[in-house]
Amino acid sequence: MSTPKLNPDVAFEKLPEVPNLLSMYGKAAVDQVPVLGTNRKADSMPSIGYEVSGISVSAHDLAQYTEVTGLRLASELPLTYPFILTFPVAMKLMTSKDFPFPAMGAVHLRNEITSNRPILVGDELFIRVWAENLREHPSGLLVDMVSEVYTPNEPDPAWRQVSSFLSKRRTSLTPPKDAPRPEKPEPPTANEIGDPTTTLSVDGGQISHYAEVSGDRNPIHVSAVGAKAFGFPNTIAHGMWTAAALLGSVEGDIPAQARYTVQFGKPVVLPAKVLVYAREDVAANAVDGVDASEGGWTITARKPRKLGHVFATATIEEL
C-alpha cells in the first residue's frame, strides 16, 4: 500500500487494531463520574490522531449491514458503511484526556461523506482519524471528527468523512435567556411537498440488531433506562442508521464519486414510521439546513401527520 499523504498539523499514533467500541463507551461513562472523570478544558484539542492498518470487510459483515439498513448487497461498500469501521477509532480520540468535552452526551449534528472511488469487499484498508475545528455554536461547542479510509496503492483517500459533534452548553453565541424566540415557520402541508418516495418502519428490535452489527451499543439506542437518563422518552435510532436507510430511496442513482451530507434533526424515537421524500434536480438553496445542488438529490425524513417534524435532511452531489 502506498503511503497516504500526511496531515502536517497532526501527529499520528499507530494502533494495533480497531478499538473495542464497548470498552470506549465504558470509558466514556466513567468520564461522567465526579472525581473519577477527566477535568476537561473547553479550549484544548487532542495533539494526536490515530491510524489503523490491515482492516478488511467480509461479505458476511456487509450482508449483515445491508440487511439491517435495507440497502442492496453488492461487492461495493455502501457510502455509509465505513463509518462503522472508523467510529471506534474516533471514540478512542473523543475519550482522550485532552478532548474538549465528554463523549457521552455529545450530539451527532452533521455528517459529510466524500466518496472518491469504490471500496470493495476484501480490500485491505488503512484508516486515519483526527479531530479539528473546535468552535462555538449557539447551542454549545462543535468539533469535527475527520476520518479517512485508504485502499491499496493510492495516496489519496477513497473515502473521507467529517462528523460534527455538539456538546450542549452556553457560549458567546448563545442568545440571552430573555431574548425573544424566533418564530417557527408554518409546517408544510402534504399538498405542498407531495407524496413520500417511501415509508420506513423501524422498531427497537431492528435498532438493537444494528447496534450488534455496527458495534455501537450506546445506551440511548439499546436501553429505555439509558435513553431516559439522557432525556429521551424511549430508545432512539442511531443517526447513521437513518443516514444509511435514506440512501435506499435513491439506490441505483448514486454517482461513483459523490458527496453525501446529512443534517440530523429530531431524534427517531422508537418505534417509528419515517416518511422519506427524495427529490431530484432541486435548485441550489438551503433546505432544512443543508445546501442542495442542481443535478443532485435532496432527501428529507419527516414524521407522519406532523410534517414539520424533520428527522434528517440529506443531499447527494456528484463530484
Same-domain status, 21 and 141? yes
- In a domain, residue 216? The reply is yes
Handedness of CA 128, 79, 312, 225 (dihedral sign): negative
Residues facing 11 on adjacent strands: 48
The answer on pLDDT for 35 being more than 50 is no
* Residue 128 and residue 155 in contact, taking contact as beta carbons nearer than 8 Å: no
Global pTM reads 0.90
Specify the higher pLDDT residue, 159 or 24.
159
Same-domain status, 19 and 144? yes
Residue 27: CB partners within 8 Å, gap ≥ 6?
95
Specify the higher pLDDT residue, 21 or 2.
21
Same-domain status, 163 and 223? no
Structural domain total, the chain: 2
- Once rounded to an integer, what is the mean pLDDT over residues 243-272? 96
Same-domain status, 216 and 148? no
- In a domain, residue 204? The reply is yes
- In a domain, residue 5? The reply is no
State pLDDT tens for residues 157-196: 999 999 999 999 888 778 888 788 888 888 899 999 999 9
Same-domain status, 126 and 46? yes
Q: What is the mean pLDDT of the chain?
A: 90
| Domain span holding position 234 | 191-318
Same-domain status, 133 and 200? no
- In a domain, residue 133? The reply is yes
Return the pLDDT at 6. 54
User: Which of 116-130, 140-154, 177-191, 290-304 has the least mean pLDDT?
Assistant: 290-304
Same-domain status, 156 and 200? no
Return the pLDDT at 40. 60
Same-domain status, 307 and 199? yes
Specify the higher pLDDT residue, 16 or 3.
16
Specify the higher pLDDT residue, 175 or 241.
241
Q: What is the CATH number of the domain that holds 218?
A: 3.10.129.10
- In a domain, residue 183? The reply is no
E strand map for the chain: 11-14, 48-55, 107-115, 125-137, 140-150, 159-168, 198-202, 258-264, 272-280, 286-287, 290-291, 297-303, 306-318
- Once rounded to an integer, what is the mean pLDDT over residues 96-102? 91
State pLDDT tens for residues 268-282: 999 999 999 999 965
Same-domain status, 97 and 49? yes
Same-domain status, 205 and 80? no
User: Which of 1-5, 282-286, 310-314 has the least mean pLDDT?
Assistant: 282-286
Same-domain status, 54 and 153? yes
- In a domain, residue 54? The reply is yes
- In a domain, residue 181? The reply is no
Same-domain status, 123 and 196? no
- In a domain, residue 136? The reply is yes
* Residue 57 and residue 81 in contact, taking contact as beta carbons nearer than 8 Å: yes
The answer on pLDDT for 56 being more than 60 is yes
